[in-house]
A and B are shown apart, each in its own frame.
Chain A
Amino acid sequence: MTANRYDPAFPKQRGKPWIALGIVALTMVVAVFANQLVLHDPEAVDPANALLPPVLFEGGLLEYPLGTDRLGRDILSRVMLGTRISLSIAAMALAFGGIVGVVLGMIAGYRGGWVDVVIMRLADSFLAFPSVLIALVLAVTIGARMELVALVLGLVLWARFARLIRGEVLTWKERDFVALARVSGATGRYIMIRHLLPNVANSLVVLATLQVGWAIVVEASLTFLGAGVPPPTPTWGGMVAEGLDFIESAWWISLMPGIAILLVVFAFNVLGDWLRDKLDPQLRSV
């Protein structure tokens, strides 16, 4: 009956995504300990060593493994600090969008009727929301700030969460245990928190993991366009933009943060897919 014991009659369908897990774990460590791990001050300018190529190329120095940018700043250190910025923004956006989305999605699904209609039409309109345009407008009017980027992402994210949670709640609330909880005098809020939330938790985790990659890419895009985190704070999108002018002579300035985006987004998506298969109630042992 225990689900964990390995049964040769049911071979595992897929191995654990060790590479993706490794990348995510490494990303987390780098994000938390960026200040302790960097070789150089990411914002220290060193004109004597400007535009150095990565260590394996001609003229590269071991001191600057991934090369330097036009001001002689260490690219590795800047990518590492950028990890923290990118993940913090993704985390803030997910926290905001996730909490708002779960609360509204639950209420919409459980209450139904006009409440459902109002919330879901609102969600539809936020999904149709031109986030890049709004971010540009906010950047111009209020000024580009990290919190604003997270807010703009969250405004789209909540609608995605609300949609998913509403759909799940619609199926779960028809189960008899919800009716029985009502017979035993439980309030709507109690049923939502105690009975429905734990049942939608799996889907929630999967969606959140898959949205991390989306948040990182959009944040990088916004910063690339100048509507995101302002310089000199190192961010992946900002670094890609900075390197554009030198793309023919010093390609590494743009490529290195680009690789970081690719790897992290890829890892989170693989992890999300794996979690979805793993947590799918259809595939779980009953």
Chain B
Amino acid sequence: MTSADTLLQVNDLTVEVKGARGVGRAVDGVSFGISAGETLGVVGESGSGKSLTCLSVIRLNPKPASRIASGSIRFDGRELLELDAEGLRAYRGREIAMILQDPMTSLNPVLTIGDQIREALKLHRGLSRADETRVAEDLLARLRVPEPHRVLRSYPHELSGGMRQRVVGAIALAGRPRLLIADEPTTALDVTVQAAYLALLRKLQREEGLAILFVTHDLGAVARICDRVAVMYGGRIVESATTATFFSGAAHPYSRALLRSLPDVSKPPERLEPIPGQPPSVFAARKGCLFADRCPEVQARCRELEPPQSSVAEGHFVHCWARQP
């Protein structure tokens, strides 16, 4: 998977979490790569480890509850897991930025929008005060925030959720990052605002050549913005494919089940198919395929051995015994 223009390459990343029932693996040997200008969507249900995976990329995984046990995270050829706190700060914001799910808590309620954007600018660019204000207004304008001058002087509670999320985007882009980690950035937004926000991200990505790691459980958002999709289940990536391939020919039974649980507005309403059973606990025994208990195509060996990766087509990988050639 490694190629010359790969910006972020994560290999065999394992993150352990501590709980009352012992140590569990929330992220289990995850590997993926993202090139400049590319958007990788990581999808999965709650608890599949998708958020923890991307928090770990920037080493923001909650401590001491979780620990990166093994693996490698290379950004532009440099191993991030070897960096100390000081070395890591050089990457945070400047090279890698982040947008989180809830725009309500992503902004500091007692500081103005201007203060918060200028803060990001000060940390990364070292501009004069007048330049900071000008650049901050430019950033807001690029994120299609009306009346940037007025918004700079507003407090977060004076803005709508969609506006706040755009401000969060402006702050993220203030350091001119090369990789943007977006952890369910549209979940808290209205559907119409979601579409506009995704279109905006797409536009900014084209302009800046930004790589985006897009975490979501919303397949609609995936279809809009992602170039490639990685499906996570129980802390493992079970399938990865281009977006087009994923929607037309997903191979893994779990991916197919996910797609079947989506309503299709072009057809008359029918019963949606929920996936039977519950996702596995992080603390459960990790033997064989973790989806086996819920899988319609389960075989005897599924419960015994972890399915190896097999290639369905160029750039389309799946971990499933039922898809072994």
State whether these chains interact. yes
Residues of A within 8 A of B (CB): 1, 113, 175-177, 179-187, 194-195, 198-199, 201, 286
Instruction: Answer whether A184 and B100 are a contact pair too, CB < 8 Å, given A177-B107, A194-B119, A199-B108.
Output: no
The CA-CA distance from A37 to B116 in the complex, in Å, is 49
- The smallest beta-carbon distance between B50 and chain A, in angstroms, is 16
Interface size on B, residues (CB 8 A): 33
* Contact (Cβ within 8 A) A198 B89: no
Instruction: Answer whether A184 and B158 are a contact pair too, CB < 8 Å, given A176-B102, A177-B107.
Output: no
Residues of B within 8 A of A (CB): 58, 60, 64, 89-90, 92-94, 96-98, 100-102, 105-111, 116, 119-120, 123-124, 157-158, 168, 171-172, 174-175
* Contact (Cβ within 8 A) A286 B92: no
Give B159's nearest chain A residue, CB to CB. Answer: A1
Q: Which single member of B100, B119, B120, B158 contacts A176 (CB below 8 Å)?
A: B100
Residues of A within 8 A of B97 (CB): 183-184
6 A-B pairs whose Cβ atoms sit less than 8 Å apart in the complex: A176-B106, A183-B92, A183-B96, A183-B97, A185-B175, A198-B110
Additional 10 contacts, C-beta under 8 A, given A177-B107, A184-B120: A180-B98, A182-B60, A183-B60, A183-B97, A184-B171, A185-B89, A185-B90, A186-B123, A198-B108, A199-B110
- The smallest beta-carbon distance between A5 and chain B, in angstroms, is 14
- The smallest beta-carbon distance between B126 and chain A, in angstroms, is 13
Q: Which single member of B60, B96, B105, B174 contacts A177 (CB below 8 Å)?
A: B105
Residues of A within 8 A of B157 (CB): 286
* Contact (Cβ within 8 A) B175 A184: yes
- The smallest beta-carbon distance between B199 and chain A, in angstroms, is 23
Instruction: Answer whether A180 and B171 are a contact pair too, CB < 8 Å, given A175-B105, A186-B123, A286-B157.
Output: yes
Instruction: Answer whether A198 and B120 are a contact pair too, CB < 8 Å, given A180-B98, A184-B175, A185-B89.
Output: no
- The smallest beta-carbon distance between B288 and chain A, in angstroms, is 35
The CA-CA distance from A269 to B158 in the complex, in Å, is 33
* Contact (Cβ within 8 A) B100 A179: yes
- The smallest beta-carbon distance between B294 and chain A, in angstroms, is 32
